[in-house]
Amino acid sequence: MGAEAPATHEGPAIVGTAGYVSPYPYLDVLQPKMEERLARRVPATGRFCGFCFGRQRPDTAVCGFCKSDLAEVGTENEIPQQVLRLYKVKQNTEARWVHTGAMFGLTLAMGLFVYLVIWGPGFLGHPGFAFAALIGGGYLLAQFFGAFLGAQVGYRKAARKRDALWARWLESPNAEL
Ligand SMILES: [Zn+2]
């Protein structure tokens, strides 16, 4: 499978809030920065760590992300497309889980709405109440299944995928991922 890459950093085995801790902690730190780069909110060129491709100041000697000695690993002017792509995979996979979870929550609320209107006894069957349940319940259920559950599962799946791609990159840089 390759998803269970061996941990390459020491420290206590803490299981993160989403039940998964990346064996490459710097990838999580780089993720938002790479997403900014993917969205073209930052310049494509600059000075990047030759190992993890984190952006560096002109005078930095040790990478703040992966702690590599920049004199040793060198620097690059751009982030390779293959490397950018693995952050994109992470972003898209996670977004899909959040979206799917939210849609599931909304579907549940709609089911509840229909149920209340057709079978709801007394005031529960009042369309006004059912409508309130649809709006309020829809919001809560979409939040719960999307932003909460979907985000956690999505993070886990997406980070594993990204980390597996990174492991492959480390094995053979510049190969198609
Ligand atoms: Zn680095």
Question: Taking residues 91-107, what's their average pLDDT?
Answer: 97
Residues 6+ apart with CB under 8 A from 43: none
Distance from residue 121's CA to the centre of ligand 1 (Å): 63
Q: List, in sequence order, every residue forming a beta bridge with 45; answer none if it has no partner.
A: 78
141 and 54 fall within a common domain: no
Distance from residue 37's CA to the centre of ligand 1 (Å): 16
Distance from residue 69's CA to the centre of ligand 1 (Å): 8
40 and 123 fall within a common domain: yes
Distance from residue 141's CA to the centre of ligand 1 (Å): 40
pLDDT in tens, 165-176: 999 999 988 766
Residue 129: band (very low, low, confident or very high) from pLDDT cuts 50, 70, 90: confident
Distance from residue 131's CA to the centre of ligand 1 (Å): 53
**Structural domains in the chain (count):** 2
91 and 164 fall within a common domain: yes
Residue 43 has pLDDT above 60, yes or no: yes
Provide the domain limits for residue 156: 1-44+79-177
- Weakest mean pLDDT among 12-26, 50-64, 79-93, 134-148: 12-26
89 and 151 fall within a common domain: yes
Q: Give the per-residue pLDDT at 133.
A: 87
Distance from residue 41's CA to the centre of ligand 1 (Å): 21
CB 98 within 8 A of CB 142: no
101 and 51 fall within a common domain: no
This prediction's pTM: 0.79
115 and 177 fall within a common domain: yes
CA torsion through residues 130, 144, 34, 173, sign: negative
CA 110, chain centre distance (Å): 28
Distance from residue 175's CA to the centre of ligand 1 (Å): 19
148 and 173 fall within a common domain: yes
89 and 144 fall within a common domain: yes
87 and 141 fall within a common domain: yes
CB 10 within 8 A of CB 45: no
pLDDT in tens, 2-29: 444 444 444 444 455 567 888 999 999 9
40 and 60 fall within a common domain: no
Question: Taking residues 123-143, what's their average pLDDT?
Answer: 89
